[in-house]
């Protein structure tokens, strides 16, 4: 069952990456990257139990914190950029 969970996690991360590449706006991409990061935390945790080495769970804890801080930071950046109105009014992801 752990192996099936690993495969499902990889499939979900692939689908999130497809949305991050396709996404028409920057917010779609941020949403997909946030989802990708959450699934990465789960992937690291499941890999620990697949290999039988639970010491690597620290990496999952640190990755959860880094993922949250990076998403909030990127969101603040684009929020201030669009609120000031100096750039283009339509924010695209390109």
Partner 1 sequence: MIETVQSFASGTLLLLGCFFMLTGAVGVLRFPDFYSRMHAAGITDTLATLLIISGLMLTAGWSLALFKLALIMLFIFFTSPTASHALARSAQLSALRLPQIAPEPAPTEMTNSQPVDTSPDAEPEAADSTRV
Interface residue with partner 1 among 21, 30, 40, 84 (CB under 8 A) is 30
Confirm or reject binding of residue 21 to partner 1 (CB under 8 A). no
HEC string of 33-48 equals HHHHHHHHHHHHHHHH
Confirm or reject binding of residue 12 to partner 1 (CB under 8 A). yes
Burial pattern 61-80, b for ≥16 Cβ within 10 A else e, equals eebbeebeeebeeeeeeeee
Total of chain residues touching partner 1, rule CB under 8 A: 47
Confirm or reject binding of residue 40 to partner 1 (CB under 8 A). no
- Min. distance of Cβ 42 from partner 1 in angstroms? 5
């Amino acid at each position: 069952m752990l192996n099936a969970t690993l495969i499902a996690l990889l499939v979900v991360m692939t689908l999130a990456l497809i949305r991050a590449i396709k996404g028409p706006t920057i917010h779609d991409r941020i949403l997909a990257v946030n989802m990708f990061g959450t699934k990465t935390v789960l992937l690291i945790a499941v890999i620990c139990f697949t290999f039988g080495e639970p010491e690597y769970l620290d990496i999952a804890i640190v990755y959860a914190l880094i993922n949250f801080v990076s998403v909030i930071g990127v969101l603040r950046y684009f929020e201030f950029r669009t609120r000031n109105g100096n750039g283009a009014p339509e924010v695209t992801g390109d």
